[in-house]
Structure 1
Amino acid sequence: MSKAVLKVAGLSVAYGGIKAVKGIDLEVREGELIALIGANGAGKTTTLKAITGTLPQCKVEGSIHYLDETLKGSKSFHLVEKKLAMVPEGRGVFTRMSIRENLMMGAYTRTDKAAIEDDIAHWFDVFPRLKERAAQMAGTLSGGEQQMLAMARALMSHPRLLLLDEPSMGLSPIMVEKIFEVIRTVSAQGITILLVEQNARLALQAADRGYVMDSGLITMSGNAADMLDDARVRAAYLGE
Structure 2
Amino acid sequence: MADTEIVLRVTDLQVAYGGIQAVKGASLEVRKGELVTLIGANGAGKTTTLKAITGLLNPASGDIAYMDAPMDGIRADQRVARGLVMIPEGRGVFARMTIVENLQMGAYLRRDSAGIKQDIERMFETFPRLKERADQLAGTMSGGEQQMLAMARALMAQPKLLLLDEPSMGLSPIMVDKIFEVIRAVSAQGVTMLLVEQNANLALQAAHRGYVMESGVITMAGDAQAMLVDPRVREAYLGEETGAEETGV
Give the structure-1-normalised TM-score.
0.96
Could you tell me how far apart the structure 2 residues matched to 1:126 and 1:27 are? 28
In the TM superposition, what whole-angstrom CA distance separates every residue of 1:185-219 from its partner, at most 9, and x where no partner exists? 11111111000000000000000000000110001
1:198 counterpart = 2:201: no
Higher mean C-alpha displacement, 164-173 vs 9-18: 9-18
> Quick check: 1:164 aligned with 2:164?
yes
Cα distance in 1 for residues equivalent to 2:188 and 2:69? 26
Partner of 1:116: 116
Count of residues in correspondence between the two structures: 238
The alpha-carbon deviation at position 59 of structure 1 amounts to 5.3
Structure 2: which amino acid aligns with 1:226? A
Partner of 2:115, secondary structure, is helix
Give, in angstroms, the shift of residue 110 of structure 1. Answer: 1.4
SS in 2 for 1:91: coil
Counterpart of 1:93, as a letter, is V
Which among 24, 28, 49 is matched to residue 26 of structure 1? 28
Unaligned runs of 5+ in 2: 241-249
Structure 1 segments, 4+ long, off by >6 Å, are none
Residue aligning to 1:182: 182
Taking the aligned partners of 2:95 and 2:117, their CA distance within structure 1 comes to 22
User: Closer, same or farther in 2 for the Cα pair 1:125/1:15, shift >3 Å?
Assistant: same
2:233 corresponds in structure 1 to: 233
State the identity %: 70
Q: Does 1:54 align with 2:63?
A: no
1:52–1:120 Cα change, 3 Å: same
Cα distance in 2 for partners of 1:59, 1:180 equals 30
Q: Secondary structure at the match of 2:102?
A: helix
Question: Residue 26 of structure 1 aligns to a residue in which SS?
Answer: strand
Alignment partners' CA distance in 2, 1:140 and 1:116: 25
Q: Could you say what the CA RMSD is over the residues aligned between the two structures, in angstroms? A: 1.1
Instruction: State the AA in 2 paired with 1:43.
Output: G
Q: What letter is aligned with 1:39?
A: A
- C-alpha distance after superposition, 1:43-69 (max 9, x if no partner): 0000000011113xx652110000011
Q: Corresponding residue for 2:140?
A: 140
Q: Which stretch shows the higher mean deviation, 159-168 or 112-121? A: 112-121
**Unpaired segments ≥5 residues, structure 1:** none
**TM value normalised by structure 2:** 0.93
Q: Which residue of 2 aligns with 1:102?
A: 102
Amino acid at match of 1:19: Q
User: For the Cα contact (< 8 Å) 1:161–1:192, is it kept in 2?
Assistant: yes
